[in-house]
Amino acid sequence: MTTVSDETRSRILSAAADVFADKGYHDARMDEIVTASQTSKGGVYHHFPSKNYIFFALIDKFTKLLEDRLRVAIEKEEHGLKRVDAAIRICMETFGQHRALAKIALVQAVGLGETFETKRREINDRFAEIIEEYLVQAIADGSIPDIDTEVAARAWMGALNEVVLRWVYTGSPDPDRATPALRTLLLRSIGVSDERIEELDQKIA
């Protein structure tokens, strides 16, 4: 059951996401978050003692959102290749729907000091592990040839990050446009044939 306190916390985080995305971490001020959230200063500080607590909470919020959506979508698929394919599509779809949070997690957390860098690495490691998990399943069920799954997962993270970062900075290519080409490239990189990719396309359609 959602409480008034939960609703207030959610409102603060939503407002903070917009402020951070617009101003950046260093230039964002707590007073701006208070005003944007239509909450008292005491109410904001009750939930978040400082600006970095809010920033970490936003990163955690986006990470949980993405991981939850990945797990739900992937568990609906019956074998490794379809799960790997679903992971690409859900990642890009989620980034596309939450640009402010993506900017905070992928851009603004860089260069803020060791604590923030450690957090960013933890997130990257977590999602690389998820990708690797389903690559291993795809090998086990014969969907893809035997590959170095750790290297492949890291390469996929690099490609996803680069495409999303470009979109966050410039607005192009947007995730809807980028996903088909990126998906084809990533699936080819793990030995999936164009014929098999076309079969996956038909099932999605």
Task: Kindly report, residue by residue over 29-65, the tens digit of the pLDDT.
Answer: 999 999 999 989 998 999 999 888 888 888 888 888 8
Residue 157 pLDDT class (50, 70, 90 cuts): very high
Phi, psi of 88 (to 5 degrees): -60, -50
One domain, residues 88 and 5:
no
- Kindly state the tokens that stand for 23: 């101003």
In the block, tokens 């492949």 appear at 152
One domain, residues 118 and 146:
yes
One domain, residues 119 and 145:
yes
One domain, residues 40 and 122:
no
One domain, residues 42 and 124:
no
What length is written for the chain?
205
Q: Higher model confidence: residue 24 or residue 2?
A: 24
DSSP one-letter code for 77: S
- pLDDT for 109 equals 63
Considering its fold, how many domains does the chain have in total?
Answer: 2
One domain, residues 120 and 34:
no
One domain, residues 166 and 72:
yes
| Helices 30-37 and 51-75, axial angle in degrees (round to 10) | 60
One domain, residues 109 and 41:
no
Q: How much is the mean pLDDT over the chain?
A: 86
CATH number at residue 189: 1.10.357.10
CATH number at residue 40: 1.10.10.60
One domain, residues 68 and 37:
no
In the block, tokens 């005003």 appear at 35
Structural domain containing residue 9: 1-49
CA dihedral 43, 44, 45, 51 (to 10 degrees): 180
pLDDT at 202 over 80: no
- pLDDT for 205 equals 57
The tens digit of pLDDT for each residue in 88-115 reads 888 899 888 888 887 777 776 666 667 7
End-of-domain residue from the set 49, 74, 89? 49
